């Protein structure tokens, strides 16, 4: 039985992009059973990612990047044969909740009124699911006819390689002005494996973000308000301290105890990485 309680399968293609994700992929895929198409797009993993994905019933496609655009997610939109026009991008370290599954299913009882939807990520940090603190918010449920990933000047930058960076997809030129929605239910994000892995990954992200700032290569957002907020945050002084206070106090991370403090501290550490490289 599908996770939307025996109703029709959700007419959305769930796409999980992977590389060496055997640790996470089964948990991720098992939570996607309500969708009528599940595809794992893997980048030549040398672990059991592809094997486990096939065992879980996902269609497995391999991706080898040629060093140019499109990068991986846009390649999926351009080149995969898909059952649906609607796509839901889920990372291997994320888990779709029953509440989110039901909310997405309800959108497709008719025609969704928006061109895409933001979904908030709720962090699992140091063996605890955080109730408060910062939540990431990404435009990952989208109509591929109306939304695409922008081409930016980052091919010579370190840190990201084949995957689009930390920016949002945008409305296609012919769809400018169409509404973008916000879903209420959370996507669980298992963001922390161990300290060393987290530091290595975020050092790469910091190198990329510094290069993006130097080139002023950031693309626009789907709304002017988001663009202004993002631009302001990149420009303000004392960004590491502000990031910590935002998560720990303003967003209530203090109520998650030690895990909430450590998560807020990780935001400070990340932005200090960026400051030290700038």
How do the pLDDT tens digits run along the chain, 278 residues long? Answer: 345 555 689 999 999 999 999 999 999 999 999 999 999 999 999 999 999 999 999 999 999 999 999 999 999 999 999 999 999 999 999 999 999 999 999 999 999 999 999 999 999 998 999 999 999 999 999 999 999 999 999 999 999 999 999 999 999 999 999 999 999 999 999 988 888 999 999 999 999 999 999 999 999 888 888 889 888 999 999 999 999 999 999 999 999 999 999 999 999 999 999 999 98
What dihedral do alpha carbons 13, 19, 22, 28 form, nearest 10°? -30
Which residues lie across from 182 on neighbouring strands? 118
Q: What angle (nearest 5°) sits at the alpha carbon of residue 205, between those of residues 252 and 39?
A: 90
Tens-digit pLDDT profile for residues 250-275: 999 999 999 999 999 999 999 999 99
Instruction: Identify the CA nearest to 113 among candidates 185, 182, 34.
Output: 182
**Domain limits, the chain:** 10-277
Q: Which residues pair with residue 147 across a beta bridge?
A: 171
Q: pTM (2 decimals)?
A: 0.94
Task: Encode pLDDT of 238-247 as tens digits.
Answer: 999 999 999 9
Q: Please say whether the beta carbons of 43 and 162 come within 8 A.
A: yes
Residue in the block written with tokens 């002084």: 237
Q: Which CATH architecture has domain 10-277?
A: Alpha-Beta Complex (3.90)
Predicted pLDDT of residue 193? 82
> With pLDDT > 70 as the criterion, what percentage of the chain qualifies?
97
Separation between Cα atoms, residue 98 and residue 199, nearest integer Å: 31
């Amino acid at each position: 039985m599908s996770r939307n309680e025996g109703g029709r399968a959700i007419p959305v293609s769930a796409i999980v992009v992977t590389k060496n994700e055997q640790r996470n992929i089964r948990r991720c895929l098992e939570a996607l059973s309500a969708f009528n198409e599940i595809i794992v797009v893997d980048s030549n993993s040398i672990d059991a990612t592809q094997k486990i994905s096939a065992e879980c019933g996902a269609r497995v496609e391999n991706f080898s990047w040629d060093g140019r655009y499109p990068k991986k997610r846009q390649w999926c939109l351009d080149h995969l044969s898909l059952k649906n026009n609607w796509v839901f991008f889920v990372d291997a370290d994320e888990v779709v909740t029953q509440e989110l599954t039901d909310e997405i299913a309800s959108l497709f009882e008719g025609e969704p009124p928006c061109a895409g939807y933001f979904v908030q990520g709720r962090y699992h940090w140091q063996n605890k699911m955080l109730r408060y603190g910062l939540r990431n918010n990404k435009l990952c449920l989208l109509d591929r006819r109306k939304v695409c990933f922008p081409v930016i000047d980052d091919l010579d930058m370190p840190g990201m390689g084949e995957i689009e960076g930390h920016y949002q997809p945008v409305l296609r030129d012919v769809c400018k002005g169409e509404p973008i929605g916000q879903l209420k239910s959370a996507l669980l994000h298992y963001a922390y494996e161990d300290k060393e892995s987290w530091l290595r990954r975020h050092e790469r992200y910091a190198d990329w973000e510094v290069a993006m700032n130097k080139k002023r290569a950031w693309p626009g957002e789907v709304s002017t308000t988001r663009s202004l907020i993002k631009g302001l945050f990149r420009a303000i002084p004392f960004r590491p301290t502000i990031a910590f206070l935002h998560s720990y106090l303003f967003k209530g991370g203090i109520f998650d105890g030690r895990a909430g403090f450590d998560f807020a501290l990780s935001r400070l550490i990340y932005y200090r990485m960026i400051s030290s490289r700038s």
